[in-house]
Amino acid sequence: MTSRPPTPDSAAAPEPVLHPEPRVERIEGSDLHFWIYRPDAGRSPDRRSSGDPGTAMPEPGTGADETGDDPLIVMVHGLRGTHHGLEPIVERLPGRTVVVPDLPGFGDSGPMTDRAHDVAGYAAVIVELIERLGGRERPVVLLGHSFGSMVAAHVVSCDPESVARLVLVNPISTPALHGPRVILSRLTSLYYTLGTALPPRLGRGLLANRLVVRAAGQAMLRTRDPQVRRFVHESHLRHFSRFHSPALLSETYAASVTGTVADYRAALRLPTLLIAGESDEIAPVAGQRELVAGLPDAELVIVPGVGHLVHYETPAAAAEAIDRFLGEA
């Protein structure tokens, strides 16, 4: 089923004012940093609150759950992202308990020592994180943006019992090296290859170059709202280059362009929501329509006037679709 949100938001807002609880767990050799956003803890009160503001999440590793059927939302960011990128959506889900990690090797999280930094490696981390958060005792909603959508789909394919519902934002459904931007994708691959081939200091300088980072954001932005554009550029400049090393970044990039969510289509039997940007050239709508048509219980929401940055440009529209989707459970 395909639908459109009634009114996409302008998202003209500064960085959200949130009060998450930071945690660290040793998972797959990584000091995995993640943030817990509890219901209504410092979040906008203008949306429906379906949770109990006094509800507490169990300490990691206890497995105890006092919330009954209240779902735990675990969000997975995209390539070169951190948990900060998903906070505009989190802010607009004040009645929900949300956990967002920095994937190993990005943001505050250290690299893995026991696994490759690819889709399977990151999926193993998310499976163990869900386990430690008591995810076997409560329903878990897994959300992935862009590259994170592939990680989320892999989690479902290897451990279907750990996830009750799946949300894919700007999901990768068209192979990057065969899609509409194949030339740009190949140039990007050369860019990452060069960044790895250079001595580490020079490679990092190339991959973290502020002009390149700004150009990447410029290419993905669709909004003309100056406040939103400024917010996106500032966020990218602060967080887009927080990767452990050029080699790790190149390894993850290679994984991001050699597969799609469609590779896991047979395993996605659970209720699934896809949120797509109408003008997304990295994950084109045509591919999203084809993907959702092959899933038994899926809905596609297309957000008008936005590309690959739904979480930045139209977070309220995304949150509204997610809230409704979870309300159907």
Two structure tokens written together for 182 = 């194949």
Question: The whole model's pTM is what?
Answer: 0.88
Under the banding of pLDDT at 50, 70 and 90, the label for residue 65 is very low
Decide: 102 and 20 in contact? Cβ < 8 Å: no
pLDDT at 273: 98
Q: What is the pLDDT of residues 164-173, one digit of tens each?
A: 999 999 999 9
For the cut 90, the answer to whether the pLDDT of residue 272 exceeds it is yes
Cα 121 from Cα 112, distance rounded (Å): 8
Q: Cα–Cα–Cα angle for 266, 269, 270, nearest 5°?
A: 145
Q: Domains, the chain, ranges and CATH?
A: 2-175+259-327 (3.40.50.1820)
Lowest mean pLDDT among 41-45, 128-132, 136-140, 246-250: 41-45
Cα dihedral value 314, 319, 320, 325, nearest 10: 130
pLDDT at 188: 86
pLDDT at 63: 40
For the cut 90, the answer to whether the pLDDT of residue 42 exceeds it is no
Q: Which of 48, 36, 59, 2 is nearest to 289 (CA)?
A: 2
Decide: 39 and 95 in contact? Cβ < 8 Å: yes
